Amino acid sequence: MPQPAGTSINLSRLLLAGALAGAVYVAGGVAVGHALFGAEMIENLHRLGVPPPSGADAVRHVALRLLAGLVTTFVYVLALPRLGRGWRTAFAAALATWLAAYPVFLFALVDLGVLAPLTALLAGAWGLVEGFLAALAGARAYRE
């Protein structure tokens, strides 16, 4: 039985668009996250007796950001039949992804003493902005 129009997912375009969105997350994490918040995090890790992040940690971090791009784009694609194309749908996808990941992670970093509350608040705000930029990139690249 054929699927109704707009309900099939173009997997190759999803992967391509997700990779592009992931690249935006990686760039945002390096440019802003590490540049602005990295020194505080490293200082606090040292104070807590935790070794600084290794090369393997960096690889995992990049992989997780690429996965975040794929997930954000996937949420965008799932929302298309209901919300249509455009920046509002991209923002909804970014917000859903952000809500699923950021608050728990940031609260944990504050509770563990790795980030100060204000830094976590700023990191969370930036995370929503970078998520929106990533969703816009993924939305632009995805075609059914």
Nearest CA-CA partner of 70 in 102, 26, 38: 26
Q: How far apart are CA 133 and CA 125, in angstroms?
A: 13
Written as six digits, the tokens of 23 are 């690249």
- Residues 43-83 pLDDT 10s: 888 999 988 889 999 899 999 999 999 999 999 999 999 99
Q: How far apart are CA 39 and CA 60, in angstroms?
A: 19
Residue at 59: amino acid letter: V
- Residues 26-37 pLDDT 10s: 999 888 877 888
pLDDT category at 4 given cuts 50, 70, 90 is: low
DSSP state of 2: P
Residue at 55: amino acid letter: G
Query: What is the DSSP code string of 31-60?
Result: IIIIIIIHHHHHHHHHHTTPPPP-HHHHHH
